[in-house]
């Protein structure tokens, strides 16, 4: 069997708009042949997922999760998972995914759904702090920019829902964003997390 690298998987994902695990499986089935893997994804109806992104999502459900402590709920989360049709919104897999994402939010405490939602002032401040730290570590100016880029990606992975690794790795090994893309591929509709709300007892807001 061919050695499938992360670069191979990313190249196929970029070309087809599929999720990480779907791309990896297709490459494995194609013995590493990129063009053959594209054909496999088309046959499975997965490669068209990226073409659905401009279709309106007017349906969906609110997923929820309550975390108990000493017999009382102390963390509550609601997540709006959107889709195109009422038919998909009623499917068991869609509803289960919404609740799974709510549980993930309870555990991982993201601040935003997508990178584009991170306020510019917060991002600029984070970049300034990273650059200052890199210079304090004695890093030369010519590589500080690369260090900032790498650590900002880590910031996204820590704070942005779509970039976070899904907490239940036994159910899905990848990011929440990839899990949602995979769900969209399997159900044949444009699906996304619109928003979430997380409440924790004793937590103060700024």
**CATH, residue 124:** 1.10.286.20
Determine the pLDDT at residue 193: 96
Determine the pLDDT at residue 59: 93
Residues 124 and 155 in one domain: yes
Which residues in the chain show pLDDT less than 70?
A: 1, 17-18, 45-55, 205-206
Could you tell me which residues are beta bridge partners of residue 63? 79
Residues 137 and 180 in one domain: no
Residues 75 and 47 in one domain: no
Determine the pLDDT at residue 5: 87
Number of H helices, E strands in the chain: 8, 3
1 falls within a domain: no
**Closest by CA position to 88, among listed 186, 16, 171, 20:** 186
DSSP character string of 4-35: --HHHHHHHHHHH---HHHHHHHHHHTTT-HH
205 falls within a domain: no
Residues 140 and 194 in one domain: no
Q: What are phi and psi of 195, to 5 degrees?
A: -170, 165
- Residue 170: CATH number of its domain: 3.30.479.20
Determine the pLDDT at residue 168: 92
Overall domain count for the chain: 3
pTM of the model: 0.70
Torsion of CA 165, 166, 167, 168, to 10 degrees: -140
Q: Is 196 helix (H, G, I), strand (E, B) or coil?
A: strand
Determine the pLDDT at residue 139: 83
Residues 170 and 155 in one domain: no
206 falls within a domain: no
CB-based burial label for 131 (10 Å; 0-12, 13-18, 19+) = middle
66 falls within a domain: yes
Tell me the residue range of the domain where 22 lies.
6-52
Determine the pLDDT at residue 54: 56
């Amino acid at each position: 069997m061919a050695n499938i690298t992360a670069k191979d998987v990313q190249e196929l994902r970029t070309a087809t708009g599929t999720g990480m695990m779907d791309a990896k499986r297709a490459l494995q089935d194609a013995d590493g042949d990129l063009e053959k893997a594209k054909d496999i994804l088309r046959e499975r109806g997965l490669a068209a997922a990226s073409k659905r992104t401009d279709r309106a999502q007017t349906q969906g459900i609110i997923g929820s999760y309550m975390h108990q402590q000493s017999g009382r709920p102390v963390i509550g989360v609601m997540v709006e998972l959107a889709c195109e049709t009422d038919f998909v919104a009623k499917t068991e897999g869609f509803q289960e995914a919404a609740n799974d994402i709510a549980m993930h939010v309870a555990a991982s405490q993201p601040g935003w759904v997508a990178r584009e939602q991170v306020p510019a002032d917060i991002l600029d401040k984070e970049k300034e702090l990273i650059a200052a730290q890199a210079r304090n570590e004695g890093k030369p100016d010519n590589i500080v920019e690369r260090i900032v880029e790498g650590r900002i990606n880590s910031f996204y992975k820590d704070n942005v829902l779509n970039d976070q690794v899904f907490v239940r790795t036994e159910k899905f090994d990848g990011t929440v964003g990839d899990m949602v893309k995979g769900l969209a591929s399997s159900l044949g509709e444009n699906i996304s997390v619109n928003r979430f709300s997380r409440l924790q007892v004793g937590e103060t807001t700024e």
